[in-house]
Amino acid sequence: MNLSYLWYEAARLMTTPARLVVDVARHGLQNPANPLAYSPYARSLAAACEMFERVTRRYGKPSFGFTSVTIDGTSVPVSERVVWERPFYRVITFDRSFLRGPTAPQPKLLIVAPMSGHYATLLRGTVEAMLPDHQVFVTDWADARMVPIGAGRFDLDSYIDYLIDMFRDLGPELHVMAVCQPAVPVLAAVAVMEAQGYAPVPRSITLMGGPIDTRRSPTAVNCVAQERGTAWFERNCITTVPAGYLGVWRSVYPGFFQLSGFMAMNLDRHVNAHAEMFDHLVTGDGDSAEKHREFYDEYLAVMDLTAEFYLQTVKTVFVDHALPRGSMIHRGARVDLGAIRSCAILAIEGENDDISGVGQTQAALDLTPNLPPQRKAYHLQQAVGHYGVFNGSRYRTIIAPRIAGFIRQMGDSEGGGVAISHRPEPDLSGAPA
């Protein structure tokens, strides 16, 4: 029995008193009424207290926090609204209070957030860049430790079922953006819809840094999964949610495991970033320190994944390479990418991506032979890593406009492929969740 979660909780509880004492000390050292507050010694000690408090804290789920967006030079109020909800996730949209309606209908864009340890708010910059010209929806996945075990299972098949439900309920004329991990289930969901005649099929999907075929330019992440196999991950990475959470007794892949892996990949960078923050605090560089806080408040906030979803994803995507090999199964039927004839595909990759190597996402274009060439597009962004594919300055100035242009082009076109017949739609409400 893997007791990692119990040890983690025990360590967190044992450090709580020290964290509280240190935090009180920090406030005392920074109090303007304290004559020592302006001395180099007090600044250094206060900085050390803050670093200790942040390192030992459990970070809660962040919020998107959008209050306004700038459209044509005008600040427009934004409000958040839940439009779709199931036990393991909900769909959020962002309503913009236009003083005058937009001059033309704006495309509907569903952004499918990664279910890989971080919350959907990691895509705050991704969403913000698309808000001015699109009606944006985003998937907000639930933390598995907060979902009661009575809500049932959630695996890769359930994920695809949910996506099909979403596409139909938010359609027609829906465009989809899949960031990293969801590229595989999104592509599979579209293939299932086109093969079985479900309507409406999304007009386009944009796949960003996704592991469609991890045999191409394999990264360290890909190699570890391939070498160790699914059984190793089941033995060493799966544990049970302890008492104190709604999901008690649920088998999960803990978020702190995933975070440890992320941190270990670039440990020197994170160590240097924290050392720099200490210096900023000591020298009183508040702006730089605040940027560090904002980034790590998001980066260190992690969620648990259900064990069945995690293990099925490892096996299907990284060990068996089932989708590119044509052997991926969904609900007993083979996922046939050759069935995709209508939904346009844009593949986007980063030159320096160390999670999904160059060519892994582009594989989606090669695996859909019956989709007309004019409904396929590819963009390789120079000088960005994995995170830069969907966030940062190059995303805002180059990638986001490229996506918006593709969406407009595919929204204006008539499809160029075989029309999808409108057959009776199956009821997926009873599918395992």
Summarize pLDDT for 345-402 with one digit per residue, the tens: 999 999 999 999 999 999 999 999 999 999 999 999 999 999 999 999 999 999 999 9
**Which amino acid is residue 29, in one-letter code?**
L
What is the tens place of the pLDDT at every residue in 181-236?
A: 999 999 999 999 999 998 899 999 999 999 999 999 999 889 999 999 999 999 99
- pLDDT score recorded for residue 99: 60
- Pairwise CA distance, residues 412 & 418, whole Å: 16
What is the tens place of the pLDDT at every residue in 69-88?
A: 888 888 999 999 999 899 99
Domain residue limits, the chain: 1-58, 68-219+320-412
* 258-262, 292-296, 308-312, 325-329: the lowest-pLDDT one: 258-262
CA-to-CA dists, residue 407 to 201, 206, 331, 342, 394, angstroms: 14, 9, 31, 14, 19
Say what the pTM is. Answer: 0.89
**Which amino acid is residue 335, in one-letter code?**
V
Element (H, E) at 410: helix 400-412
- pLDDT score recorded for residue 364: 98
- Pairwise CA distance, residues 200 & 403, whole Å: 21
- pLDDT score recorded for residue 428: 33
- Pairwise CA distance, residues 83 & 92, whole Å: 6
Q: Please say if the pLDDT value at position 429 is more than 50.
A: no
Structure tokens at 84: 């779709």
- pLDDT score recorded for residue 264: 85
CATH number of 68-219+320-412: 3.40.50.1820
Nearest to 321 by CA among 226, 231, 195: 226
Nearest to 359 by CA among 375, 338, 380: 380
Q: What is the mean pLDDT of the chain?
A: 90
* Percent of the chain whose pLDDT exceeds 70: 94
| 411 burial type by CB count under 10 A (0-12 exposed, 13-18 middle, 19+ buried) | middle
- pLDDT score recorded for residue 414: 52
- Pairwise CA distance, residues 105 & 405, whole Å: 15
